[in-house]
Structure 1
Amino acid sequence: MSTHPSVTILPGSYRANRPQKPDDVVDMIKQNDIGIVDLRFTDLPGLWQHFSVTLPEITHGLFSDGIGFDGSSIRGFQEIHESDMLLKPDPATAFIDPEREAATLAIICDVVDPVQHGAYSRDPRYVARKAEAYLKASGVADTCYFGPELEFFIFDSIRFEQNQHCGYYFVESAEGEWTSGRNEGAFGGGNLGYKSRYKEGYFPVPPHDTLQDIRSEIVFALMNAGIQVEIHHHEVATAGQNEIDMRFASLLRMADNVMIYKYMCKNVARRHGKVATFMPKPLFGDNASGMHCHQSLWNGDKNLFFDPNGYALTSELCRWYIGGLLKHAPALMAFCAPTTNSYKRLVPGYEAPVNLAMSQRNRSAAARIPMYSDSPNARRVEFRCPDPSANPYLAFAAMLMAGLDGIENHTPPGDPLDKNIYDLPPEEARKVQQVPGSLDESLQALERDHGFLLKGDVFTRDLIETWIDYKRTHEIDPVRLRPHPWEFQLYFDI
């Protein structure tokens, strides 16, 4: 396991008490012999960015006044003629980074526009903050809890290339079913076997599951960062699909946790000479990686989604929330399944939630009500369409806004479909609306349906227009314009 001079990753080291004020951060630095403070923030597509400062820079002024950076070099942010931006660290997010050799304290920051003298409208974290504020102002509830289930792959190697004269990707994994015939092993021959067959990777013990210890190291790293973890396990797909489940938290806090989660997974895997990816569908013919999002609304210690007499023990308010999710799902997909690759996942037959329906227990429905427990505290909706390529700040905020719109308008979720929707007769299946079939369709839906996001100025028209333009210019068009390898299989001899 990784160590640096002041931190050792050990079981049981979960720290629930986080700093709350700048003075707490200063004390944390002194007590742990910190030498570097790493300031982190999220670009518009959802990738962490950072730079590091030394101890003389850690003053109260850093927290109150911020520190400058070039916003024109960050995806989705400013143009070059308006590039000066500020970062203000949030002391409540500080954690000691167990993956760095030097003793490093990481702090998540908010982005500030120095000209407008306020929070930057395209800062994804600011959108999440506004969504939480809008919830409280609505009077519906005071807290929205999120519990995302992020799935990801750990491969031994990944190679890819696309240029004027070639295009390919090559995945290597000792767990892959396709490696059952190759020579391997300590003595240069034979095969070690125990490959997870396609769609049969769920819950096997070692030696099938070769990643148990790596996942445990990721768990300890997350706990050291103050994140409570509930379980971890191998997932359904061959070639090293995994899941680590964090305990639920409030919307903004959970979005922060997702960014820390991705960071730890990637860095622990790299330390072992492997690579972690949150790309939704890296393998053809096997299950993809989702980010099923469990959600509930609370007032104090009361779960507003529970009703002992309601369908699946849910309240009418819960069902209206689900109605909002389902009504706005095509537009939500622009933030919740925001890559061209996302729609390789959203196809029938791979536990993918392509059907916009509500159900209890049924994993073929977009909105599932888990029935593991009849406890009032456990009542929630699991929205299964999102995937881990999403920017969590934007995706969580968008889902909350859709749910609140459903509550405001008493939107019915439709009749429950408590059966395998994939096996419905054709005449019944045609009546079930499905998610969009491509990122371009989702962006078109967002263009038509985004009024619910603008309420309370949570999302701005500028952010939505910037998002749509970025996705079309930098993702959809580059994929659309390049020959696909399978087109050679189909058309070369035409």
Structure 2
Amino acid sequence: MHKEYILKKAAEENVKFIRLQFTDILGVMKSISITSEQLEKALDGELMFDGSSIEGFVRIEESDMYLKPDPNSFLILPWSSPNSNSKTARLICDIYDSNNQPFAGSPRYALQKVLKEAAELGYTMYVGPEPEFFMFHVDENGTPTLDTNDKAGYFDLPPVDQGEEARRDMVETLQSMGFEIEAAHHEAAPGQHEIDFKYKDAITTADSIVTFRIVVRTVARKHGLHATFMPKPIYGIAGSGMHLHVSLFKEGENIFYDPSAKDGLSDSCRYFMAGVLKHARAISAITSPTVNSYKRLVPGYEAPVYIAWSYRNRSPLIRIPARRGIGTRIELRNPDPTCNPYLGLAVILKAGLEGIKNKLQPPAAVEQNIYEMDLATRNLKGIHSLPENLYEAVNELSRDKLIQEALGDHIYSRFVLAKMKEWESYSSRVYDWEIDQYLEKF
């Protein structure tokens, strides 16, 4: 899209407000609304905002920053303000500092830097996400509860699946916004759902993930429900992940595919996978970035705990789906939907590129159920575990220079600071489990 088209489209569709969107370092969507009269100025990159108000951006004395919209992200939102015939559009923005240089603390810029590195080698990264979420009832005040809106399980149909109407509304809303939905279904846990959309280039996919989260929560609210992407809201049932299907293309060809190989996987695919496995423990801090993320990454719920790969087995970190040809890809299974998608894709790509550049070899595929192996067997096979908690993951990140390089010094330092504060806050609290276990015993 270009400036003239956007201005014309906004006028034809009676767009009165435009949300200029971007994420903070933690992946939380932020927005500044402008009127249509300011749209041309925004498209020219002349609008400024106070960056010191955003998590992990800059200090007060460095606060002036520019929002520069990506014209290709222009989208008219499929809901309007009550009692108004006008429409609202959105533009996802890149952030520039007061010297008109790309801001090092912008997560979107972090991904763009690694994509540029890949492009210099001739590669384009494509990603297909599988985000999961829960829908809960709200109380009389509109406050979310932990009461799921059904007791259904994997692939169940109505009337057991009572979330189908809301999920269908979400799919239709997403389709009206240009999403190509591939599948939508009830997941394993009560009140849990999954909506998958077609793979796109990495920037488009990251933009789509942050948009997806807004759409799902907005539509759920219309149905009197609360949708959450919290990885593990309820103990004892499956948590919500966001598996990422990743491939690299060069000159229009999927370089992960080799028809002459017995398993159809190219050397480049193996090298890429080896790089991701090598840096998996540090990557985990970015792709599973909350205290709650590690309540999901435990044995028994099909969430990966062990750093290994396989063709069919779903217990390792990476699975190779059966499709070959243009659909050859790796499926990374530990990310969850609280992940900042720009940073998550940046660190995955950086690790994979290192694998390709250095021709790293992955270990042998593991087709046995790793959950059933004892520690000695896992050690014998060289199978290590992902971090057990956020503190351990952040420590791994602090030792991994390559993943730090993907983030950049600004994002790395502020991300670690925010996550250590989160861990310290969590660790110092007293929880119901402790009261139940210790109050009367000691």
| TM norm structure 2 | 0.95
Query: Corresponding residue for 1:99?
Result: 79
Structure 2 distance, partners of 1:149, 1:234, is 13
Which amino acid is the alignment partner of residue 176 of structure 2? N
More deviation, 416-425/241-250: 416-425
Which amino acid is the alignment partner of residue 256 of structure 2? F
Tell me, yes or no, if structure 1 residue 480 matches structure 2 residue 427: yes
Structure 2: gaps spanning 5 or more residues? none
Deviation at 1:309, TM superposition (A): 3.7
Query: Corresponding residue for 2:393?
Result: 442
Structure 2 distance, partners of 1:293, 1:451, is 21
Deviation at 1:462, TM superposition (A): 2.2
Which amino acid is the alignment partner of residue 390 of structure 1? C
Query: Corresponding residue for 2:339?
Result: 390
Tell me, yes or no, if structure 1 residue 132 matches structure 2 residue 115: yes
How do 1:397-476 residues align onto structure 2 when only pairs under 5 Å count? Answer: 397-430=346-379, 431-454=382-405, 458-473=406-421, 475-476=422-423
Please say if residues 96 and 106 of structure 1, whose CA atoms lie closer than 8 Å, have aligned partners that are also in contact: yes
Please say if residues 214 and 268 of structure 1, whose CA atoms lie closer than 8 Å, have aligned partners that are also in contact: yes
Deviation at 1:24, TM superposition (A): 1.5
Which amino acid is the alignment partner of residue 352 of structure 1? A
Query: Corresponding residue for 2:436?
Result: 489
| TM norm structure 1 | 0.85
Please say if residues 67 and 96 of structure 2, whose CA atoms lie closer than 8 Å, have aligned partners that are also in contact: yes
Query: SS of 1:41's equivalent?
Result: strand
Structure 1: gaps spanning 5 or more residues? 1-19, 160-168, 176-194
Query: Corresponding residue for 2:101?
Result: 118
Deviation at 1:389, TM superposition (A): 0.6
Query: Corresponding residue for 1:109?
Result: 93
Structure 2 distance, partners of 1:210, 1:145, is 34
Deviation at 1:347, TM superposition (A): 0.6
Deviation at 1:286, TM superposition (A): 0.6
Which amino acid is the alignment partner of residue 107 of structure 1? L
**1:259-314 deviation digits (Å, cap 9, x = unpaired):** 11000000000111110100100010010001111000001221100112436321
Query: Corresponding residue for 1:343?
Result: 294
Query: Corresponding residue for 2:135?
Result: 154
**1:106–1:170 distance in 2 versus 1, CA, 3 Å:** closer
Please say if residues 218 and 265 of structure 1, whose CA atoms lie closer than 8 Å, have aligned partners that are also in contact: yes
**1:22-48 deviation digits (Å, cap 9, x = unpaired):** 112112102211111111111110011
Query: Corresponding residue for 1:7?
Result: none
Query: SS of 1:119's equivalent?
Result: coil
Structure 2 distance, partners of 1:453, 1:404, is 15
Please say if residues 310 and 316 of structure 1, whose CA atoms lie closer than 8 Å, have aligned partners that are also in contact: no
Deviation at 1:172, TM superposition (A): 1.5
Which amino acid is the alignment partner of residue 418 of structure 1? E
Please say if residues 402 and 453 of structure 1, whose CA atoms lie closer than 8 Å, have aligned partners that are also in contact: no
Tell me, yes or no, if structure 1 residue 302 matches structure 2 residue 291: no
**1:133-162 deviation digits (Å, cap 9, x = unpaired):** 11011x1x4310001110111111279xxx
Deviation at 1:85, TM superposition (A): 1.4
Please say if residues 158 and 275 of structure 1, whose CA atoms lie closer than 8 Å, have aligned partners that are also in contact: no
**1:215-264 deviation digits (Å, cap 9, x = unpaired):** 111112112222211110000111x1010001000011100000110000
Deviation at 1:343, TM superposition (A): 0.4
**1:447–1:311 distance in 2 versus 1, CA, 3 Å:** farther
How do 1:264-413 residues align onto structure 2 when only pairs under 5 Å count? Answer: 264-310=215-261, 312-371=263-322, 373=323, 375-413=324-362
Query: Corresponding residue for 1:223?
Result: 175
Deviation at 1:65, TM superposition (A): 2.9
Structure 1 distance, partners of 2:4, 2:423, is 46
Query: Corresponding residue for 1:72?
Result: 52
Which amino acid is the alignment partner of residue 118 of structure 1? Q
Query: Corresponding residue for 1:171?
Result: 146
Query: SS of 1:283's equivalent?
Result: coil
Query: Corresponding residue for 2:17?
Result: 36
Number of residues of Structure 1 aligned to a counterpart in Structure 2: 433
**1:356-404 deviation digits (Å, cap 9, x = unpaired):** 0010021101010001x3x311110001111111000000111000111
Superposed structure 1 runs of 4+ greater than 4 Å apart:
none
Deviation at 1:211, TM superposition (A): 1.2
Please say if residues 144 and 296 of structure 1, whose CA atoms lie closer than 8 Å, have aligned partners that are also in contact: yes
Which amino acid is the alignment partner of residue 379 of structure 1? T
More deviation, 85-94/220-229: 220-229
